[in-house]
Amino acid sequence: MPKTKQTISPPGPKDDPATFASPAPSMEKPEKEAPAPSDAADRKAISLRGPIAVRELAELLDIKPFQLIHHLMELNIFPTLTQLLDEDVVKKVATRMGFEVLTERKERHGPPPPPSKVVEEPPPAPPAEPDLQLRSPVVAFLGHVDHGKTTLLDAIRHTRVAAGEAGGITQHIGAYTIHHGGKSITFIDTPGHEAFTAMRARGASVTDIVVLVVAADDGVMPQTIEAIDHARAANVPMLIAINKIDAPGANPLRVRTQLQERGLVPEEFGGDTIFCEVSALKGNGIDHLLEMILLQAEVLELRAHFDGPAAGRVIEAQMETGRGPTATVLVLKGTLRTGDVVLCGAYWGRVRALINDLGKTVREASPSIPVKVIGLSGLPSPGEELLVDSDERRVRQIAEERLAALKRPRQEEGPTVTLENLFEAIAEGQRKALHLVLKADTQGSIEALVGQLDKIPSKKVELSIIHAAAGPVSESDILLAKASEGIVIGFNVKTDSSAAAAAKREGVQIKLFSVIYELVDQVRDAMAGLLEPELRETVLGTALVRKVFALNKFSVAGVLVQSGRMVHKGHARVLRGKQPIYDGSIQTLKRFQDEAPEVRAGLECGMRLGNFDDYEPNDIIQCYQLERVPQSL
């Protein structure tokens, strides 16, 4: 009997990620009729739970992989050994070979197979209390945009972080470790713009202490209040850093008063909140701020287990050239080492390298130390938990089951964006849609951009993000945008040479941005550009039919212009008893025997409207014009 359980191998380092796309043949050749078995009960059955790689399907069918590829080529499908095949393709090729495919959703006959048993992570055994050791505090800088968070951290690290950010704004989370007085402090520099609210909240959720940065010349702003709410929701103690005390108009006392109204009472006012006055540009008060952070850490008595399997939290994930998927991980307990087998969300891998915040390769990372992990099979979402397990097979199986669970709902829903239903929607008069393929430098930037684009209000145009991922603009992105009649938006990324050639060939527009404000404004303008101008009617004048002149081929109405004016070649409608009976254009407009461009109120003239001849006395002829007025979202 063939195997009935499916296992999907994740891509190895030599596998091409492009080979994991589902096959999409444009035209299928006529299938060859397979000889039907004499008895349906004699047909062999294979179990299918989702997409399956060519190599695994060959094992289930008990044939060589090249034989399976030969059958697929007859169906006009040219796969690789690691390419995933969807359910329809598997059924076609299995039927040709006399197999019956059973799925979890529907079976043709027989009792349902027992549900697959999901492998759960074993709960980590809590070590004994004496193993707990003091660890470094993890500090997050929160506050309003342009209040000097990154510049303050820059002064602490003696580097130029802010100078490398487009527009002077931090676009994604960074983690750094500094040493002061023989002790270590880990800083998470979270962005201050409102578009990155979710990332800022995630930064507060993994930190021990929050430093709320408030500009002395600006005071408490809306995002300052937002940062206070995030820190309180995470139950994290706050220190206040009043920055820019050397700026003109600085008023630290006003900042204290505003924060006191928010429940943050300074120690000098009888409260328990530490306030530090600093100047990021001149370096004043930096040492005092670091001493207060270490003092707060001593009060909290932060401890962790340094021995045993590591557990951490993903701060950021991105695709890097030459390295593949990388994830910045903050170790929370245990020690992460090179060679460990890790499980991170729906992805797994063996740690090939660990890189610290200075760009140097390290062999291990203890609690409160941020490192970049290389060796994962995919890009995890920020905030995912990273776990270390010695059983590589179990970790791989858990990751595969999680990944299959994520993909299954998308496959059951089916494609939602096609040219066919797009044309049908336009024909039925439904809302227009702007289709976007969104690429950014990091996964966190993707979440922030999607959140900002979803906030664009529009009842007339639908914004559809058909694909959003981290990494450079590739040729597959161009083909997807072409098929969906969309455009490609890039944020802090480059365009591959093959993608640029494909965009020129297919006529797909690529727009690259480095500042989020410009991106959102351009998308809003593009959505407004999809709206066709409205036709607005303006009445120019009315005329009363006094007499009808029947000529040889047509009739002419003798009219008296009552108001406004009648315009030659203008639009006109005939009203009889307040009911419109004809709508067309003015073909002829004469005063006596001469053509007249227009006839004003109080004058008589002769008129002929298109091919209309059924004039009657006392009919009203209304002349109007149509103006094209641009619509707004």
420 in helix, strand or coil? helix
Tell me how many degrees the CA angle 551-554-556 measures, rounded to the nearest 5: 75
Is residue 570 classed exposed, middle or buried when 0-12, 13-18 and 19+ CB atoms within 10 A define those classes?
middle
Q: Name the DSSP class of 25.
A: -
Most confident region among 147-161, 361-375, 398-412 by mean pLDDT: 361-375
Q: Give pLDDT tens digits for 480-534.
A: 788 777 888 999 899 988 888 888 888 888 889 888 878 888 777 766 666 667 7
Look up residue 156 and give its amino acid: I
- Greater model confidence, 562 or 193: 562
> How many Å apart are CA 563 and CA 333, to the nearest integer?
87
Neighbours of 235 (CB within 10 A): 8
Look up residue 57 and give its amino acid: L
128 pLDDT above the threshold of 50: no
Q: Give pLDDT tens digits for 218-232.
A: 888 877 887 787 777
Which residues is 599 bridged to in the sheet?
566
- Measure Cα distances from 82 to 10, 26, 304 in Å: 9, 21, 42
State mean pLDDT over 48-67: 81
Residue 458's pLDDT band, with cuts at 50, 70 and 90, is low
Which residues touch 73 (CB under 8 Å, ≥6 apart)?
Answer: none
Q: Give pLDDT tens digits for 166-197.
A: 666 555 557 888 888 888 899 886 665 444 54
Domains of the chain: 17-103 (no CATH), 130-304 (3.40.50.300), 306-398 (2.40.30.10), 419-529 (3.40.50.10050), 534-629 (2.40.30.10)
> How many Å apart are CA 338 and CA 374, to the nearest integer?
9
Q: Give pLDDT tens digits for 347-397.
A: 999 999 999 888 889 999 999 999 999 999 888 887 788 999 988 889 999
Question: What integer pLDDT is reported at residue 165 of this predicted model?
Answer: 61
> How many Å apart are CA 151 and CA 215, to the nearest integer?
12
> How many Å apart are CA 116 and CA 5, to the nearest integer?
9
Q: What is the 3-state secondary structure (H, E, C) of 309-377?
A: CCEEEEEEEEEECCCEEEEEEEEEECCEECCCEEEECCEEEEEEEEECCCCCEECEECCCCEEEEEEEC
**C-beta separation of 590 from 599 below 8 A:** no
- Greater model confidence, 25 or 523: 523
119 pLDDT above the threshold of 80: no
Q: Give pLDDT tens digits for 597-624.
A: 999 999 999 999 988 888 999 999 999 9
Q: Give pLDDT tens digits for 297-311.
A: 999 888 888 888 899
Question: What integer pLDDT is reported at residue 168 of this predicted model?
Answer: 61
> How many Å apart are CA 163 and CA 19, to the nearest integer?
39
Q: Enter the tokens of residue 112.
A: 């349902």
- Measure Cα distances from 510 to 468, 473, 477, 488, 496 in Å: 14, 9, 10, 5, 12
State mean pLDDT over 279-285: 87
Percent of the chain scored above 70 by pLDDT?
A: 77
- Greater model confidence, 458 or 204: 458
Question: What integer pLDDT is reported at residue 239 of this predicted model?
Answer: 92
131 pLDDT above the threshold of 90: no
> How many Å apart are CA 258 and CA 278, to the nearest integer?
18
- Greater model confidence, 586 or 45: 586
Question: What integer pLDDT is reported at residue 271 of this predicted model?
Answer: 86
- Measure Cα distances from 580 to 242, 572, 588 in Å: 73, 10, 20
User: Beta 594-595 vs 598-600: how paired, if at all?
Assistant: unpaired
Tell me how many degrees the CA angle 230-232-233 measures, rounded to the nearest 5: 65
**C-beta separation of 451 from 198 below 8 A:** yes
Residue in 195, 8, 155 with CA at minimum distance from that of residue 85: 8
HSE (CB half, 13 Å, CA atoms) of 508?
29
Residue in this structure with the two tokens 């470790």, named with its chain if needed:
177
**C-beta separation of 144 from 222 below 8 A:** yes
- Measure Cα distances from 59 to 55, 77, 85 in Å: 7, 19, 14
Question: What integer pLDDT is reported at residue 561 of this predicted model?
Answer: 93
Q: Which helix (DSSP H) or strand (DSSP E) does residue 562 occupy? A: strand 555-567
pTM recorded for the entire structure: 0.52
